[in-house]
Amino acid sequence: MMTSQCDSFPLASAFIKSKGSFQQLDPVYFPCAHKSKETLLKSGENSDNGDESEDSPKKSLIELLSPIDSCRPDQMSGTNLAYIGDVVFELFVRSRHVWPTKRTSDLQNTVVSLVRAEHQSYLLRQIKESFPLTERENQVLMRGRNSVTKSKNRRNPAAYQDSTALEALVGYMYIVDTTRCQEFLLWLENVIDKQESDI
């Protein structure tokens, strides 16, 4: 038996009210997680007429995915910068290859081949030859490269160091200057496109 309210899933009432299909939700807004279930349910009920509470902050997707204001990238370790850069680079690669639709295994193989350490090492060599890095960005590359711990289990430790350096640079650019990060990713896109067309 369906009821008009669902305590465990605040969107259920929107689903039920529209007789089996979800209502169009504002893509840049979702109520804050710290609000009570009752507040979430009320805001879901008011969504048909466009009313929003005055105290509800709106955040864009990029704001939600950006570091907190107190983040100090110059004080972050190369490993932490690479941790963020890894996610940004992986999303960049996945977003480029998800269309046209491929079998999941083919998509996974393509993505893995582009995010593996050896390929990122190749990209880093291209960057050093052709992309104008600032002095600060070169320092970040060195921090990333030097943050890698030596391991006997790695087949190619130099490639892994290059990979971490590249990811640290992407993470740093993403945190410090999204315009510069965008410029850098566009440049990488051209390098990858050229490489893929040569295959």
Tokens of 126: 């291209």
How many whole angstroms from its chain centre is CA 51?
31
Of the candidates 55, 86, 106, 198, the residue annotated as catalytic is: 86
The residues, ordered by sequence, that sit 6+ positions from 10 with a Cβ below 8 Å of its Cβ are 31, 37, 40, 41, 44
The predicted pLDDT at position 56 comes to: 63
pLDDT tens for 102-131 read: 899 999 999 999 999 999 999 999 999 999
Question: Could you give the angle at which helices 117-130 and 104-115 cross, rounded to 10 degrees?
Answer: 50
The predicted pLDDT at position 152 comes to: 62
Superfamily of 72-197 according to CATH: Ribonuclease III domain (1.10.1520.10)
68: helix, strand or coil: coil
118: helix, strand or coil: helix
Task: Find the farthest-apart pair of alpha carbons in the chain and give their distance in angstroms, rounded.
Answer: 66
**Helices marked H in 46-116 — which ranges?**
61-64, 78-97, 104-115
Contacts 24+ apart (CB under 8 A), 126-132: 126/191, 127/166, 127/169, 131/184, 131/187
Which carries the bigger pLDDT value, residue 101 or residue 172?
Answer: 172
Work out the pLDDT band at 134, boundaries 50, 70, 90: very high
Phi-psi region of 84 (alpha: psi -120 to 50; beta: other; left: phi over 0): alpha
- DSSP one-letter code for 57: P
Q: What mean pLDDT is reported for the chain?
A: 79
Residue-range domain boundaries for the chain: 72-197
Q: Is the pLDDT of residue 141 over 70?
A: yes
Q: Which among 24, 36, 26 is positioned nearest to 58, based on CA atoms?
A: 26
Cβ-contact 159, 121 below 8 angstroms: yes
In this prediction, residues 139-152 reach a mean pLDDT of 88
Residue 48 known to be catalytic: no
Please tell me the distance from the alpha carbon of residue 79 to that of residue 140, in angstroms, as a whole number: 11
The predicted pLDDT at position 198 comes to: 87
The predicted pLDDT at position 53 comes to: 54
The pTM of the full predicted model, rounded to 2 decimals, is: 0.69
Please tell me the distance from the alpha carbon of residue 70 to that of residue 15, in angstroms, as a whole number: 39
